[in-house]
Amino acid sequence: MSNLSAILDFIFTRHLKSITLVIIIIEFIIGYVAIQEIGSKGISFGYSHGGYFSFVSFLGGLIVAFLSVYLMTSMTREISNGVVTLYLSQPIRRVEYIFGWLLASIITPLLLLWFGIAVLGLIVSPDIIYTVEFYEFILLMLELYFNLLICFSVSILFKSAQVPALAGLGVFIILPFVFIILIALSSISPFQITIIEYILAYIFGIFYPQKYYSMIVSSYNLSYIVEPWIITTMAVVIMHLLIFYYSKKYFEVS
């Protein structure tokens, strides 16, 4: 554990400015919108009660995604430049190094998002916990964690500084639009719901639980035996085990 603490210390020291900036931005957003909420119970953006929560959740999630991808880029640059060999010769085990970066690049930013939005949101408006927006925020946290894990896994597999940005572009921007277009095209049918549309919507729900709930569920009358977010949660657990196994057995640096 002392080795893990050492690598975390080094990572957080170098990237403290980035993490602090994210805290300031998130706190500024939630503070501004909270003042609007307290003053009018319906902010000027045109959202209903609780709508401000959706607004700051989306914006905060976007900021966290950019920060995580940036930190992953730093990790892969460190690996591709051979700097990582300095740590692994300390000795710091490969598992400690990989999970140190996992904690720094994904878990910490998501915790910032949780405490910066959910906790302050509950302080400003405690009844937010009973709203759809709060449920969607929890799904957003799961969605971000799952997709950032995909980016992280691809990054440590290919060890290139360009990979995190490309993976982030794919899972956060390109893939959602592809799914939405395919679902829309498959819905052009004389039947109410086609089997292709049904399957595509379910896969979309696994990758993007929050978007699925806010976009698909509200537009289509779909029901599944197992909710997509349950599969997403299971996939997150499996991916952690795979990352652990890969970093222990196969992770090598030149």
* For residue 141, pLDDT beyond 80: yes
For residue 48, being part of any structural domain is answered with: yes
Instruction: Give the C-alpha separation, 185 to 197, whole Å.
Output: 8
* For residue 133, pLDDT beyond 50: yes
* For residue 145, pLDDT beyond 60: yes
pLDDT of residue 88: 65
Q: How many domains does the chain have?
A: 1
Tell me what the mean pLDDT of segment 103-125 comes to: 78
- Of 10-14, 19-23, 76-80, give the range with the top mean pLDDT: 76-80
For residue 254, being part of any structural domain is answered with: no
- 82 contact partners, CB below 8 Å, separation of at least 6: 253, 254
For residue 42, being part of any structural domain is answered with: yes
pLDDT of residue 225: 72
* For residue 169, pLDDT beyond 50: yes
Place of tokens 């980016």: 151
Average pLDDT of the chain is 77
pLDDT of residue 227: 86
Residue range 30-86, pLDDT digits in tens = 656 655 554 454 433 334 444 556 666 777 788 888 888 988 888 888 888 776 666
Percent share of the chain, pLDDT over 90: 21
pLDDT band at 101 (very low <50, low <70, confident <90, very high): confident
User: Which residue segment(s) compose the domain that 134 sits in?
Assistant: 2-249
pLDDT band at 11 (very low <50, low <70, confident <90, very high): low
* For residue 104, pLDDT beyond 60: yes
Tell me what the mean pLDDT of segment 206-214 comes to: 90
pLDDT of residue 79: 81
Comparing 57-66, 118-127, 238-247, the range with the smallest average pLDDT is 118-127
For residue 101, being part of any structural domain is answered with: yes
Instruction: Give the C-alpha separation, 56 to 47, whole Å.
Output: 12
pLDDT of residue 47: 40
pLDDT of residue 26: 65
CB 236 within 8 A of CB 149: yes
For residue 219, being part of any structural domain is answered with: yes
Tell me what the mean pLDDT of segment 216-223 comes to: 68
